[in-house]
Structure 1
Amino acid sequence: PIPQPSVTTSAEEKGTPDEPTVLVLLPSEVVIASMSSSHLAPCAHALVSMLFLSDENVFFHFFEMAGEMSLMMEAATLEALRAGSDSTASALDAAFVDVSSGWRVLA
């Protein structure tokens, strides 16, 4: 189930948050890639596997705009998919355009 949004406090509404913003550098490398939205159906199993079937809590972000999807994920998640499922990973690898790798992300 999707968690319900939290109710803002009066301090948050006034722009004075109770706690300062904290930036955390993720410990692992991140892969940044793009793919056409037309590849979404052939890659659905791979994306669902990485998002929902992983035992670990991993960083994964994607958005779609103008027919193109941009994806950011921990490199280890993609490597685990490739090690465990040849056909699923092959579909994803065929669709991916690796924009850059070796990045780290502030969250």
Structure 2
Amino acid sequence: MLWHARGVDLWDELLRAALGEPMSPPSHGPNPGIVARTQLPAAEGLVRKASALPGVLEARGPDHGGTANLEVYFESPDEAGAESTRRQLRGIAGLKD
């Protein structure tokens, strides 16, 4: 999440600190809006569908994430937009609010 929000790979920076190396510069400036993450059930074709939604930064399945679910990171300029994207993601996964 820090990668998408601030351009910092936290695990990389922790490794650098452990090795006594200097911090690397962020890959990009801070995201001016909201960056959020949600999890959806892992289902065939859902990574592709989620990735196609506006505002989705990354969608990764269990084979590339830290959980048995699909993890989706997305951005929005405000809370209402973030909630709308979350609802859309749940909808394409067949989930009800």
Please say whether Structure 1 and Structure 2 have the same fold, judged by a TM-score greater than 0.5: no
How high is the TM-score relative to the length of structure 2? 0.41
Higher relative contact order (CA 8 A, sep 6+): 1
Instruction: Decide which structure has the larger Cα Rg and report it.
Output: 1
How high is the TM-score relative to the length of structure 1? 0.38
| Structure with greater proportional strand content | 1
